[in-house]
Amino acid sequence: MSFVVFCRNIAALDQPRLATLLHLHPSFTRADALIHSRRGVGPRVAEVPVQAAAESMVAICVEAGLDAFWVPTGDLVPNPTAKVIRNADCIGQGIEIEPVTGGRVLIPWADFVLLTCGVIRDRAGQGCIDAYTRSATPHLRFVRDEFNFDYLAARKQPGTRLNFPIFAGDLISGAAGARRVPGLEALAAGDFDGVPEFASYAAFEDANLCELAQLQRERAGVSRAATAASEAVADEAIAPLSWPPIPE
C-alpha cells in the first residue's frame, strides 16, 4: 500500500517553493521537486510507500501554513470519468440532462454530493464546473463554451461568459446540500478572479480527488464521533462515498 499527500490550499504556495520545501524530506527526490515545479496547482503533492513519510510530509506542509492531509491509496474514493453535458435544464426537482442516447434523465438535487469549478489554462482559460452525484451519471462536467444555456430563457445573456455565473448560481441554490468549493460562490457572483486556475484538466482532476478524499474523511469523522457518543445519526449523513453501477 502507498499513501497520497494532498494540500487543499496549495495555490497559496507557489510550486517551486513547495518543491523546495518538500525536498527537505528524504523520500522526496530532486526529480519529484522538478516535476512539482512544473505541474501547476494540483493539490496531489506526492505518493509515498511509507506512512511515516506521508505523516512527516503533512507536518512540513502544515508548518508552512498549508491545509494538508494524507490518505492510504486504498481509501481513495474512485473518481469516475467525467461526462461532458451540453444540454441540461435546472428545474425544481433537480437537473435534467440529455444523454447522447436521447431522451431526458432527471438527477434529483438531493443526489448531488460535490460541486467544483476551475479555469483550465492549457484550454485557453476555459471555465469548467464539475458535479458529483449519486446517480447513474456520477461525474458531470459543464464546460462554459460547450454548454447550451437555452434553459435560462429570459435570463439568458449575450455570451457564455455572462451566462456561466447564472448557471453556477442555479447549481448552488438547487444542490444546497452538496459540498462546494469556495471558487463556485465567486463564479456565481461574477468574480472570475476568485475561480481557481489549473494548469491542465489533470491538475483539476487532482483537485476533485482531493475534495472527494476530504469529504470522505469528514463523513468518517462524523461516523466515529456518533459511535463514540452512542448517538443516532442519519445513515445518509455518514454513508461512505461510493457510486452506483454504471449501466452498460
pLDDT at 48 over 80: yes
> How far apart, in whole angstroms, are the C-alpha atoms of residue 232 and residue 141?
36
pLDDT at 9 over 80: no
> How far apart, in whole angstroms, are the C-alpha atoms of residue 162 and residue 148?
13
User: According to the model, what pLDDT value does residue 78 have?
Assistant: 86
3-state secondary structure of 50: coil
Taking a C-beta distance cutoff of 8 angstroms, is the pair 73, 154 a contact? no
* Beta-strand pair 139-143/83-84: parallel
Burial class (CB in 10 A: 0-12, 13-18, 19+), 219: middle
Residue range 1-27: mean pLDDT, rounded:
78
How far lies 45's CA from each of 23, 33, 95, 154, 180, in Å?
12, 10, 34, 45, 22
* C-alpha grid cell, residue 84: 461532458
> How far apart, in whole angstroms, are the C-alpha atoms of residue 75 and residue 25?
24
Q: Lowest-pLDDT range, 33-42, 74-83, 205-214?
A: 33-42
Q: Lowest-pLDDT range, 22-36, 46-60, 84-98, 228-242?
A: 228-242
Domain ranges across the chain: 3-75, 77-248
The pLDDT > 70 percentage for the chain reads 81
The dihedral of CA 245, 142, 207, 189: what is its sign? Answer: negative
User: According to the model, what pLDDT value does residue 219 have?
Assistant: 80
> How far apart, in whole angstroms, are the C-alpha atoms of residue 113 and residue 236?
11
Q: What are phi and psi for residue 237, nearest 5 degrees?
A: -75, -25
User: According to the model, what pLDDT value does residue 243 have?
Assistant: 58
3-state secondary structure of 166: helix
User: According to the model, what pLDDT value does residue 61 have?
Assistant: 87
User: According to the model, what pLDDT value does residue 197 have?
Assistant: 87
pLDDT at 114 over 90: yes
Residue range 223-239: mean pLDDT, rounded:
46
> How far apart, in whole angstroms, are the C-alpha atoms of residue 90 and residue 99?
15
Q: What are phi and psi for residue 119, nearest 5 degrees?
A: -110, 125
Residue range 195-213: mean pLDDT, rounded:
90
Q: How confident is the model at residue 21 (pLDDT cuts 50, 70, 90)?
A: confident
* C-alpha grid cell, residue 245: 453501477
> How far apart, in whole angstroms, are the C-alpha atoms of residue 96 and residue 99?
10
